[in-house]
Chains A and B, each alone.
Chain A
Amino acid sequence: MHRNQGTTSWITKAVLHALAGLTAGAAAGAALGLLGSRLPLDVRAAAAAVLGVTAVVVGAAELWSPRTRGPRGRDRETPQRWMDMGPLRWAARNGIALGLGFTSRLGFWLWFVVPLTGLLSGSLWVGALAYGLYGFSRTALPGAVMAAAIARPGWEYDLWLLRRGMQARSLAAGNLVLTGAAVSVGVGL
């Protein structure tokens, strides 16, 4: 057990981690949606059209050469020293950092869809929903993996995920093509 992490149930930490991720993501998405609402609709539509086509090109290039490195962002883990803060503060702080996404490794061009959804939709609610879903999914998954590992001992889901890097890259790149095409069609409607 790491440092002073053993005093609190992992379930409590996992729930707090996911709630922190959800809150941080939803707040960031809402702020971006609010910021986007200040931009004129035609400016947002033009930006969405250009970015939609860019997404198709970038996604197709990544799909064709999946070994290319995605964007790194701040290419690092969340700091280990946060564990010294105590289990609950660590869970909250780590959840916020991962829920926002850009404070750690990005890895996939598809990530930029998340903040741009808020900004270009110009809607507080759409922004909060997209970024909140991202924040929650990213921070709830480790808890789900932990629960699955306890339910079925011997199944190493974390290693299973780590070995699926290439599949994840293809999936994210393909989804970027798909999303870019959908946005281009949507803007044209």
Chain B
Amino acid sequence: MARVIASEARPRAAFRPGRVAWGAWTVVAAALVYAAGGAGVVALLMTAAVLVAVAQQTLP
């Protein structure tokens, strides 16, 4: 019961500045891709490939 009350008392999606930062980065990246064309897309895809490999190191 205590767990239910605790989970209900906490907002499910609290405001976090990180999300706003990602939103801003997305707009900047989209503008850069528009300016750089295909090369910009390829650069972002390569970044994603490295980033997911690093993120996977945090998996238990």
Contacts and interface: CB of A to CB of B under 8 A. Distances in A.
Contacts of A170: 18, 22
Contacts of B50: 133-134, 137
Contacts of B41: 182-183, 185-186
A167 B45 CA distance: 20
A168 B33 contact: no
A141 B56 CA distance: 10
Given A105-B59, A108-B56, A182 B18 contact: no
Interface in B17-56: 18-19, 21-22, 25-26, 29-30, 33-34, 37-38, 40-42, 44-56
B29 A181 contact: yes
Contacts, number: 128
Main secondary structure of the interface of B (DSSP, over half): helix
A63 B19 contact: yes
A163 to B, nearest CB: 8
A86 interface: no
Chain A interface, >50% SS class: helix
B53 A141 contact: yes
Interface residues of A, number: 51
A164 B58 contact: yes
Given A64-B19, A168-B58, A185-B34, A179 B52 contact: no
A181 B49 CA distance: 16
Contact of A110 (B21, B30, B48): B48
B60 interface: yes
A177 interface: yes
Interface of A: 63-65, 101, 105-108, 110-111, 113-114, 117, 121, 126, 129-131, 133-138, 141-142, 145, 161-165, 167-179, 181-183, 185-186, 189
> Closest 4 interchain pairs by CB?
A174-B22, A137-B53, A186-B41, A138-B53
